[in-house]
Amino acid sequence: MHQVTDAKPSLTADIRRREISYLIKMGIRTICLILAVVVPVPWPYRLLFIAAAVFLPYIAVIGANERGQAGPPPTFQSPEANQTEIPLHRREIGS
């Protein structure tokens, strides 16, 4: 049984969501890179900022390439079969 809430978002909405997520992650990466180079912070923090600047592009690309969102698990309840319709496997050529 399908419901309206089972519908996936449109392709345009999905692409827009992924673009925004990617841009936010890359913005955080840019801030980390600036903090690592410009701001005088102790070395452990600087290494943390550098690590974030190195690994965030990978995480951003993986997130941008995933399509759709995890929806509810599929249900295998089929609606009542229409008894007046001939099943597809029983149809013959010309019918």
**What is the rounded (10 degree) CA torsion for 87, 89, 94, 95?**
-10
Within-domain flag for 49: yes
Does 38 have pLDDT greater than 60?
Answer: yes
Mean pLDDT of the chain: 80
CA 38 vs CA 24, 32, 43, 50, 78: distances in Å: 21, 10, 13, 12, 62
Q: Which domain holds residue 54?
A: 12-66
- Average pLDDT of 7-26? 90
Phi and psi torsions of 30, nearest 5°: -60, -40
Q: How confident is the model at residue 8 (pLDDT cuts 50, 70, 90)?
A: confident
pTM given for the model = 0.62
Within-domain flag for 89: no
Number of domains in the chain: 1
DSSP 6-25: GPPPPHHHHHHHHHHHHHHH
pLDDT at 7: 73
Does 33 have pLDDT greater than 60?
Answer: yes
Within-domain flag for 78: no
